[in-house]
Structure 1
Amino acid sequence: MKIAGATLNQTPFDWEGNSRNIISALSEAKEKQLDLICFPELSICAYGCEDMFYSNWLWKKCFDVLTEKILPHTKGIACVVGLPLVHNDKLYNCAAFIENGELKYLVPKQNLANDGVHYEVRWFTAWPVDLQETFTYKDKSYPIGDHVIEYEEYKIGFEICEDAWRTDRPANRLQKRGVNLILNPSASHFALNKSLARQELVVNSSKQFECTYVYANLLGNEAGRMIFDGEIMIAKEGRLIVKNQLLSFKDYQICFWDNSESNKEAELYVSNVNEEFQYAVALALFDYLRKSKSNGFVLSLSGGADSSTCAILVSEMIKIGLKELGLKRFLEKIHKTEWMQEITQNKRPETTIAQKLLTTAYQSTSNSGHSTYEAARKLAQEIGAVFYHWNIDDEVETYSKKIEQNLNRPLTWEKDDVALQNIQARARSPIIWMLANINNALLITTSNRSEGDVGYTTMDGDTSGSIAPIAAIDKFFIINWLKWAESALNYKNLSYVNKLSPSAELRPKDKKQTDEQDLMPYELLLEIEKLAIRDKLSPVEVYESLKNAAIADKHLLKKSIIKFFQLWTRNQWKRERLAPSFHLDTFNVDPKTWCRFPILSSGFKEELSILEKWD
């Protein structure tokens, strides 16, 4: 037998596109004479349908697509396709097992993901262990439940994504029922280094349960925030025998194993977080661009680390996409085939595409430095992006004078520091939005997670945007990633960015403003946020965890922890208003996907009072 896993880049409710991907993959599978292919979880409707799962028509549409569109293409092959299904007035997350054009079994998920970015308990019901019933739809009946399926030389059991991560997992029972092939259709979100944990799970499961284990994950940015890396793995009795390229720009991938090749073995995955970040955000931007049918991106390029990172990631989106898809398919997927003739005449197509897809602007004030202007200009030039430069001092002065006339006093840096900083950031917003509207493009906001923690950002200023690609990653990572990108990705003009100390450049130049002076060292901020936000520790517990670390002396540590918690609690309203962001790390601060926190609270008043007295 030839057994395969397949990944799919799906879109919620895209019945034509989603079924086309499945049918195309089935056609290729039959050409390769595969016997069994496992598609990912909820592959017909896509995983990210959110509260549309509550509707009574969605699951019916999925079932109709399965039986009317997909089944006719399954003659001569067995496959597994994921879909939601209502049975006895409850919604279940099911894997449909199809053999030679006939729907044989429906196997529901037994354990629901309900942490981090997952809210499955909101919509689905977990299927009871060992329960087997009959599902009826349009006068046809199908077996539904905790089934072991006999197919050729195999006894097949299922673990659907979260099922495999529980201590009391289905595999414990499946082994006792003689199962020697476990299929795991998944919708497991991307996070840095997560593939290593999945690999360990799959390989160890195949050894522990003495079976062949097939894992197939969804691919791409299907619904806006979560990224799926499209991982496919097949392991047999403790050996990884099949593994694919992650984060592909293609519509689908197939990886298979011919079980006559008993000595086959795949290379184990070795994590490189810099490359993972590069490929994950590039793919997410590509899918966001094409699925929103936008004309490109607009970016306020300040010459700092954050906006430079966003510019590089758009550039990498183009380079990786062209390398993997080729020019023709790349343009087809972004709905720009009319560019073909012009681009083919250019020796560097990626530069021509960058000029069309990325427009940048350096918006200076009297507080801006020449070094940041040069850093922005040179980076845009190297990428090939459009670069504009305008000064906003007139706008800032107009706003300031109106307020001064009505307050009947001048604004001063001694009394009005925050207001004078923020008006500069806000004055930049209307004109960059105007440019995005003119281009019918997505406006990129450059906020990072560290800024989101402490509210070090101006609402309706530098937070303005349609998409926030780096809002789920910390500033310390970004600073180090840019140094890596300068050499590893050969962006020579990043040297101008990497020489600069991060600064908002909103105070007069003689004040020599830097972000870390305003806040705290970024490395220290990262360690505090991991303990406070990811691990939910109290201020005293954070201090106890870090007081013996070499990261800061005890005075700076205590001062920084108090500042962090004060700013964190004060700025939840800002996090509620941030543009949609990609989930990239083991945690993030987006209240819509990972971290819900009250807008109003006591601000850890008692806990911080204890910390101030703590030794």
Structure 2
Amino acid sequence: MSDLVTLATCSLNQWALDFDGNRDRIAASIHQAKKLGCTVRLGPELEIPGYGCYDHFLEQDTELHSWQVLAELLSSDLTDGILCDVGMPVLHKSVLYNCRVAIANRKIVFVRPKMWLANDGNYREMRWFTPWLRPFVVEEHALPSYIRQVTGQESVPFGDALLAARDTILGVELCEELFMAASPHISAGLSGAEIILNASGSHHELRKLHRRVELIKEATLKSGGAYLYANQCGCDGDRLYYDGSAMIAVNGAIVAQGKQFSLDDVQVVSATVDLAEVRAQRTGKSRGLLAAWMQAGNGGLSPGGPSVVHVDMALCLELSAGVLQNSRPSPAISVHYHTPEEEIALGPACWLWDYVRRSRTQGFMLPLSGGIDSCATAVIVHSMCRIVLDACMHGNADTKERVLADLRRIADEHHEWFPADPQAIAQRIFVTCFMGTTNSSQETRARAKNLAVALGSYHYTFDIDSVTASILNLFSLVTKRTPHFRVHGGTPAENLALQNIQARTRMVLAYLFAQLAPWVQGRSGGLLVLGSANVDESLRGYLTKYDNSAADLNPIGGISKTDLKRFIAYARDAFHLLILDEFLEAPPTAELEPITADYVQSDEADMGMTYDELSMFGQLRKVGKCGPYSMFVKLLPMWTPRLSPIDIAAKVKHFFFEYARNRHKMTTLTPSYHAESYSPDDNRTYRFY
């Protein structure tokens, strides 16, 4: 045998409870791995049922069907000659665990439960699973009867152990365990594991990939070794988008990386690793002393180190001149990072595509206001159209066929139709409308229309004054009172009510057009309504409850105003949309109050703070875990001398006052793409009360 081993990891677009589809994607990835000459294949976390099952994990059906899928994988020659690591829930001694199941040659080799569960931020794994609290301990797990019939096994090892093949040793850790201060790969590597397998379900966040890559590189930098990282990709009907980017690292260098944003259902990444290089990296005496010290029972290990489960197969390439001549270790590569602006263009766009194809709707409906937020939402839809067209033209054979079939179904087009450009797609699946009032300027009307023309959306322009007037006439008829705007002598209560009725009328009309626009065009079905409130406005509560913030989906609900401006500047050049300059130059305004010679409504004036200040408040509150006093202390050196200490204190107090009194709005927020760690969606990522 040689010291060369070819390894495969993958990203799969798995759907919650889509057991047949998930099985087929797992099988496809194993086929691809074997075709590449790999002897190890790693898949994403909980790939058999799908990571996003949530409370369905509490149903016995989910585990039952997962075992049935595993039985189908084991009953064919699929696992012959390859060690596969697949994920599923397993009930062991009446306790449910999030597990990895190692299978090879039509047998179950080992079941490894997750020891450290993700249970903050977006994750609630301890709602469904129990952590395995017995490091280095292995028990026997009795297999279901239908598995026994397939494999001939009565039980298999269950617990925390290393996998010892004939020619190398492998360790296993799951997702969150990589982020722990004392990750399992540390003890595994010091106990002889040369290959670490990490199956993840890690969501996209702006600028997050850098941290993930550094942790993966660090896992093998000091102690040597090969590290395989698999990840879920796509949207599973939730606020999260899993961004793939499967990777393989060797001795602190990345040697293979998958795409971070893709419409591929199956991505397999492979690399050939020279284990002799791993062993050479480990010859340092300091490392040897530490390994021997821990293996002797120090550092929390049992004497002799972790338990070992033997795998009766060789993983390295056969030692022959022909094989070795054509096989060489994969070289280090430069990791590809997208800029935050590119991430905004790609992540929410892929998220929208998964949503529209899985919801079986016919596209999207977006109210265009002429402002930068709805503009950014529209441009993200345009980016989606570009990604879809690129997949139809340049994707692999499976992706081309599947994406084009989905597009034709959504667009209600015949089987020979092929879009000429992104605008041709938008014309069929994207409806926009400008709902004006007497308070709307001609500039915003023109910007909205010109943007719609540039993007190719099916656009409507109309005024809603007659609708709001009818509602106000009814109110006056009942109460015998007529409210007035502030500029006409009205009270703050009158002024706010007159603004809100415009906003809420737009929401009602948006849903009317979403339901009937396809019918008007001679098509069937309905559209998903898109909202366009950014993360900063939501955090501050600067939105009308049940206005255009109330929609089916919000692609920008987790993105700051600052990042959105940068995204629009990027899209202007990358997508050749010169109209976007007008949106960047326009002052942010709701245009819900009359414009006079002395007064033009301004968002930042209404909020009592700038968008940049609001973004800083959000970061310090959630990420920095600051209360009012600690936030003031943090901001004092940052904002002085631009603002005096008294002014800074006043702004902090004002932010927390508005934040607290508008919490009722946060509980009804439209499901938003999670892109920022300070998402205001309190029932998902932050428990305020």
Q: Normalization by structure 1: what TM-score?
A: 0.94
Q: Aligned pairs, how many?
A: 596
Alpha-carbon distance between aligned partners in 2 of 1:89 and 1:366, rounded to the nearest angstrom = 66
What is the aligned partner in structure 2 of residue 609 from structure 1? none
Task: Detail structure 1 runs of 4+ shifted over 6 Å in the superposition.
Answer: none
What is the aligned partner in structure 2 of residue 214 from structure 1? 228
Q: What letter corresponds to residue 499 of structure 2 in structure 1? A: Q
1:240-269 per-residue CA deviation (whole Å, 9 max, x = no partner) reads 111122111110101101225336111123
- C-alpha RMSD over aligned residues: 1.7
Give the alignment partner of residue 136 of structure 1, picking from 130, 137, 142.
142
Report if aligned partners of 1:23, 1:70 keep a CA contact under 8 Å in 2. Answer: no
Q: 1:339 aligned to 2:399?
A: no
Give the alignment partner of residue 329 of structure 1, picking from 399, 402, 411.
402
- Displacement of 1:460 after TM fit? 1.7
What is the aligned partner in structure 2 of residue 116 from structure 1? 121
What is the aligned partner in structure 2 of residue 611 from structure 1? none
Deviates more, 1:188-197 or 1:528-537: 528-537
Report if aligned partners of 2:16, 2:49 keep a CA contact under 8 Å in 1. Answer: yes
Report if aligned partners of 1:449, 1:473 keep a CA contact under 8 Å in 2. Answer: yes
What is the aligned partner in structure 2 of residue 376 from structure 1? 448
What is the aligned partner in structure 2 of residue 165 from structure 1? 179
Deviates more, 1:543-552 or 1:377-386: 543-552
1:213-246 per-residue CA deviation (whole Å, 9 max, x = no partner) reads 1111110112321111112111111121111221
Q: What letter corresponds to residue 205 of structure 1 in structure 2? A: A
Report if aligned partners of 1:286, 1:317 keep a CA contact under 8 Å in 2. Answer: yes
Alpha-carbon distance between aligned partners in 2 of 1:220 and 1:114, rounded to the nearest angstrom = 21
Report if aligned partners of 2:203, 2:242 keep a CA contact under 8 Å in 1. Answer: yes
Equivalent runs, 1:461-540 vs 2, <5 Å:
461-510=547-596, 511-519=599-607, 520-540=609-629
Report if aligned partners of 2:117, 2:176 keep a CA contact under 8 Å in 1. Answer: yes
Q: 1:396 aligned to 2:468?
A: yes
- Displacement of 1:71 after TM fit? 5.1
Alpha-carbon distance between aligned partners in 1 of 2:511 and 2:660, rounded to the nearest angstrom = 30
Identity of aligned residues (%): 30
What is the aligned partner in structure 2 of residue 586 from structure 1? 677
Report if aligned partners of 1:343, 1:352 keep a CA contact under 8 Å in 2. Answer: no
Equivalent runs, 1:126-525 vs 2, <5 Å:
126-127=131-132, 128-139=134-145, 140-259=154-273, 260-262=327-329, 264-326=331-393, 328-334=401-407, 335-336=409-410, 339=413, 343-344=417-418, 348-413=420-485, 414-415=490-491, 416-438=494-516, 439=518, 440-510=526-596, 511-519=599-607, 520-525=609-614
Identify if the C-alpha distance between structure 1 residues 263 and 53 changes in structure 2 by more than 3 Å, giving closer, same or farther: closer
Deviates more, 1:279-288 or 1:135-144: 135-144
Report if aligned partners of 2:14, 2:22 keep a CA contact under 8 Å in 1. Answer: yes
- Displacement of 1:76 after TM fit? 2.8
Aligned to 1:502, what secondary structure does the other structure show?
coil
1:460-513 per-residue CA deviation (whole Å, 9 max, x = no partner) reads 212221111111111222122212211233211112212211111001012300
Report if aligned partners of 2:540, 2:614 keep a CA contact under 8 Å in 1. Answer: no
Q: What letter corresponds to residue 86 of structure 1 in structure 2? A: L
Alpha-carbon distance between aligned partners in 1 of 2:69 and 2:602, rounded to the nearest angstrom = 56
Alpha-carbon distance between aligned partners in 2 of 1:171 and 1:29, rounded to the nearest angstrom = 24
Q: What letter corresponds to residue 202 of structure 2 in structure 1? A: S
Q: What letter corresponds to residue 459 of structure 2 in structure 1? A: F
Equivalent runs, 1:24-173 vs 2, <5 Å:
24-69=28-73, 72=76, 73-127=78-132, 128-139=134-145, 140-173=154-187
Alpha-carbon distance between aligned partners in 2 of 1:333 and 1:24, rounded to the nearest angstrom = 20
Alpha-carbon distance between aligned partners in 1 of 2:109 and 2:75, rounded to the nearest angstrom = 11
Q: What letter corresponds to residue 188 of structure 2 in structure 1? A: L
Q: 1:562 aligned to 2:653?
A: yes
Report if aligned partners of 1:331, 1:340 keep a CA contact under 8 Å in 2. Answer: no
Where in structure 1 are there 5+ consecutive unaligned residues?
599-615
Alpha-carbon distance between aligned partners in 2 of 1:225 and 1:336, rounded to the nearest angstrom = 22
- Displacement of 1:331 after TM fit? 2.6
Report if aligned partners of 1:71, 1:102 keep a CA contact under 8 Å in 2. Answer: no
Alpha-carbon distance between aligned partners in 2 of 1:556 and 1:443, rounded to the nearest angstrom = 40
Alpha-carbon distance between aligned partners in 1 of 2:546 and 2:369, rounded to the nearest angstrom = 17
- Displacement of 1:342 after TM fit? 6.7
1:63-101 per-residue CA deviation (whole Å, 9 max, x = no partner) reads 111112465222232211111111011111111111122
Alpha-carbon distance between aligned partners in 1 of 2:221 and 2:637, rounded to the nearest angstrom = 41
Q: Normalization by structure 2: what TM-score?
A: 0.84
Identify if the C-alpha distance between structure 1 residues 22 and 569 changes in structure 2 by more than 3 Å, giving closer, same or farther: same
Larger radius of gyration: 2
- Displacement of 1:39 after TM fit? 0.4
Alpha-carbon distance between aligned partners in 2 of 1:432 and 1:108, rounded to the nearest angstrom = 48
Alpha-carbon distance between aligned partners in 2 of 1:306 and 1:343, rounded to the nearest angstrom = 33
1:372-404 per-residue CA deviation (whole Å, 9 max, x = no partner) reads 111111111111101101110011111112222
